[in-house]
Structure 1
Amino acid sequence: MTTRLRNANPCDGCALRRVKCEQGKPCHECLIRGIECTALRTRKKRGPKGGVRTTTKDKVERFQESIKNDQSCTIETTTPRPSSLPSYRIPLPEYARILNISKRPVSSIWIVINPEHLLTKISENSEDYESHALAAALCAATIAQLRLPEHAGPLNTTSSHQFARECLQLRELYDYRESYSLSSALIPFFMHVYHSNGNKLRTAGLFLRESVTQVQLMQLGYPETYAHLSQSEQSLRLRIYWLVLITERTYSAQHGLQAVLQVIDVFPDIQDDMADERRLQAFVCLTRLFAYLESNLTAFSSNQPPLERQKLVSYQAALCLDSHDHVAREAQRVDLFVTRQWIRLILWEYTARHFAMSCYPDDEAFSLYLPVKIGHKMLSNFSMVTNAAIKTHGYGIELKVFRLADAMLDIIACTPFSAHGNACTTFRGWEGLRIST
């Protein structure tokens, strides 16, 4: 057997085909394939090409330098500059302007916060993010509740939307979910007010649930847990609890939800530095009204047994009394009156679902025409107060008024034509009120 020697320098054909090139001219492969055996290609040097890799060190150094530059830029952007405010921060004069407005009519409703004290806190400490978030939420709620021009302003101006957005941005600067302070309950409460007046009811409901949860976690419904605090601090906590409870009962009644917070037998003290005695007395009267609005009255369906007939009669009779309304200011007087009639209407709706109703009952609690009587009273009261006293209550009073109007429409639709007289007259007056508001 003949041994063929391998050619160390393969010909062009064998190199291209990557096969063994045996010695000889022509080589064995070229001979059997009948092709010309040539060696025209330039032989390349074996091993690493290009000599010493002098650029590797330069590339590593450039990469390390870029990392250092990125880190220095990050430190520079995250470190606040003392000479200027962050880009999202609304100027303090704008806060002062809206907080000053909130002291006048709205403070009659939200007597849980001192705007002057809050402004001092955010002026003295720019890094008190929770106080800034509370101020932003209060400003957004004030603008929306009072329907100020800033409520419908463009996004690039100091509008209620901008205050609300700033509130959310500020909350991200601290661990707000773990905050254990009264502000942690008030911030979502005011955001609820803002979104309710912006007709974003689902968003408003979520913020309200957050406020309710914070109230529960702080056990504000158990006054014995903070009995060691000063009298003014106890009164403030009770006002916050009742304010959130009232708001939750109102929202639950409008949306058929089961209320979470429970009515307690302890009411705020009417002697307090935050508000005068008349305003606190009116607020306490408002809390007592909601004691009649039991939690099973707000839900469309409830597993609890129905209220007793006599209890409904006594509730309706008690709600007809207005023993302290005359001592309140006009805006609070409107709130007390409308809330009282609204709760009477909810009781009537509950009664109609569980008991037989009549056009000529022994007690008006079981009268089919009770909403008509309530409508007469409300129109009579509205004719004696200013429009500003009504509009101060914003979205909340609108809901209560329209609920009564809906009940009257149902009565008109379900009663014989001959009985429409008083109901139709009242409803025409109601239409005029709706257009004016």
Structure 2
Amino acid sequence: MRRQLTKRACDECISRKVKCNGSSPCDTCLKTSKEADCTYLKPPGRRGPKAKRYTSKSRSACDGSIGHAHTEEAAARTQSVENRPAIPADVHADTERDESLSSCISKTVLVYIVRLYQTFSYSVWPVVDADAVLQQLGNGTCDAQTLCLVLALCAATMAQLQLAPMAGDDGHMVDSSQLKSACMQLRERSDYRENLDVKGVLVSFFLHVYHAKINQRKSAMLFIQEAIASARLLGLDTNERNAVVTDGVVANREIVFVLLWVSERGYAMHLGVRPSYSDPIQVPDAAQLAVDPHARGLLELFSLFATFDQIREQRCRSGSLAQAVSPSSLAETEAALSLLAFNSDHQASTRLADCYITREWMRTIVWQEALSGHLLSSTATTEVMTFRFPVIVGRDLLVSLHGLSEADLLPLGRDQLLKCFEVANSLADIILHTPPSSFSSAFEFGPPDFLHALYQKILPFLEHDPMLNSILRAKTAEALVMAPARLSVGLVARLDMEEEESISQQNDRVH
């Protein structure tokens, strides 16, 4: 019979590191040549490898590290930078650990990124007063919640604008991941769930932007849903939003929930999931936003999503999928999207590009609904029900983006890149799988020209996403190769003869 293993060894067997049968006295002690006391006084040790013991000093240093607080390497790094300049030590002095947390991130870096947000990204997220933030950073009056918002804002801005790591006054390099980690550490220490305010809502939103940019889709979706839920607890989705108190760093609080609503809907459509907020949204009066044109521009983006939501509402109300995506309902939605006009007066180019790209992307989604429902026909009288509709959308997108520079498109980030890719990819598929004779010759240029121009327009952003770039590049190249040649052999011969005649006439004039 197999001998049962003991759960305890005597003190003598432990010191000699031999087996013990657990009896009193044990067999090993009885067999020893000298008399040995068989006692069981030592407390049982923990099984497994011995863990490293931290002193209170090293534990404090580990708690204060920026971005890598759960690694021993971060603890050592923090000890080496503990004397570096920090964000003002009297940052409301909530705890000594908050001061330690900010010590590795130079205030100069934060100020620089906030100014970049003010210049390039405010038109996309017009919810933070950059001047108020810069003032509080300058005089050291930031509390923990405001500092957390600044870190989240800087992490999102740095990722969205694809900024390289920056060196502070002390030479310490800071990147967006460190800013994000510092933000998440600080918000946990401040018990943000019980001390919820509008700044906490925006922290969740900017963490969503950061994770969406680095393509961590599950985290991004959870953060935007956290922002939605927090905003509802504060009443930002109702008329009670005007009673919510802010300390001046939050701008345009009337449209905070609109920004969250639009962001969640757009991202949920990318992931193919239903958004968490399904109640009718109360939109602020445009007259209240007359001072800030960027806030008014966000309302125009909201109107796009509200129009597109008609498909989802019909699908939820009707038990039949075929009824929800009937040709008439899809055609009405596409027509409503096409008729939406955007006010370009005092409107930032980035916001206009956002609206244009979103509109053409939604028209493409409507067409894809018709395609998946087997509703397309080459003889349909409605353009959206034909196979050539992506050609029209691609042309309209190119016309809309005409005159917009790379700097205008860069602040929009990966979300808009995915939308442009969807439009271009649908156009490429139609070109590759449809005979050239199916396309109308009403345009001066053909579908391959539109695809080529669209690819070149978004190429600066595709270069940061190798997978999307390789897919669209291969399809564009194949479409151009398959396209009919613009110059025939006969046309080249005729041009050659005309050139010879022109040279002969010039020689006659000389003589």
Q: Which structure has the larger Rg over C-alpha atoms? A: 1
2:150 is aligned to 135
Q: What amino acid maps onto 1:101 in structure 2?
A: L
How far apart are residue 160 of structure 1 and its match?
A: 1.4
Q: What amino acid maps onto 1:382 in structure 2?
A: L
1:32 is aligned to none
Q: 1:267-295 CA deviation, whole Å, 9 max, x = no partner? A: 2344568x844222212111111102228
1:321 is aligned to 339
RMSD: 4.0
2:48 is aligned to none
Aligned with 1:376 (options 395, 407, 415): 395
How far apart are residue 141 of structure 1 and its match?
A: 0.8
1:239 is aligned to 255
2:114 is aligned to 99
2:450 is aligned to 426
How far apart are residue 301 of structure 1 and its match?
A: 11
How far apart are residue 191 of structure 1 and its match?
A: 1.0
How far apart are residue 240 of structure 1 and its match?
A: 1.3
Residue 334 and residue 172 in structure 1: after superposition, are their counterparts in 2 closer, same or farther (change >3 A)?
Answer: same
Judge conservation of contact 2:166–2:173 (CA < 8 Å) in 1: no
Q: 1:351-410 CA deviation, whole Å, 9 max, x = no partner? A: 333361122322223222212111111122333211211112111210110111221233
How far apart are residue 120 of structure 1 and its match?
A: 3.5
Q: What amino acid maps onto 1:294 in structure 2?
A: D
- Between Structure 1 and Structure 2, how many residues are aligned? 366
Residue 126 and residue 226 in structure 1: after superposition, are their counterparts in 2 closer, same or farther (change >3 A)?
Answer: closer
Aligned with 1:350 (options 369, 373, 382): 369
2:280 is aligned to 264
How far apart are residue 216 of structure 1 and its match?
A: 3.1
1:20-419 superposed matches below 5 A: 85-86=99-100, 88-89=102-103, 90-121=105-136, 128-150=143-165, 157-221=173-237, 223-226=238-241, 236-262=252-278, 264=280, 266-270=282-286, 276-294=291-309, 297=312, 305=320, 306-307=324-325, 309-327=327-345, 328-354=347-373, 356-416=375-435, 418-419=437-438
Residue 249 and residue 71 in structure 1: after superposition, are their counterparts in 2 closer, same or farther (change >3 A)?
Answer: closer
Judge conservation of contact 1:150–1:158 (CA < 8 Å) in 2: yes
Q: What amino acid maps onto 1:431 in structure 2?
A: Y
Judge conservation of contact 1:253–1:297 (CA < 8 Å) in 2: no
Judge conservation of contact 2:151–2:180 (CA < 8 Å) in 1: yes
Residue 87 and residue 179 in structure 1: after superposition, are their counterparts in 2 closer, same or farther (change >3 A)?
Answer: closer
Judge conservation of contact 1:297–1:346 (CA < 8 Å) in 2: no
Structure 1 Cα separation of the partners of residues 63 and 356 of structure 2: 53
Describe the SS at the equivalent of 1:267.
coil
Residue 75 and residue 423 in structure 1: after superposition, are their counterparts in 2 closer, same or farther (change >3 A)?
Answer: closer
Residue 295 and residue 193 in structure 1: after superposition, are their counterparts in 2 closer, same or farther (change >3 A)?
Answer: farther
Structure 2 Cα separation of the partners of residues 112 and 431 of structure 1: 32
Q: What amino acid maps onto 2:300 in structure 1?
A: C
Describe the SS at the equivalent of 2:182.
helix
Residue 265 and residue 184 in structure 1: after superposition, are their counterparts in 2 closer, same or farther (change >3 A)?
Answer: closer
Describe the SS at the equivalent of 1:257.
coil
Structure 1 Cα separation of the partners of residues 371 and 337 of structure 2: 18
Q: 1:331-361 CA deviation, whole Å, 9 max, x = no partner? A: 1111111111111112222233336112232
Q: Normalising by the residue count of structure 2, what TM-score does the alignment of the two structures yield?
A: 0.62
Describe the SS at the equivalent of 1:105.
helix
Identity over aligned residues, as a percent? 24
Describe the SS at the equivalent of 1:179.
coil
Unaligned 5+ runs, structure 1: 1-69
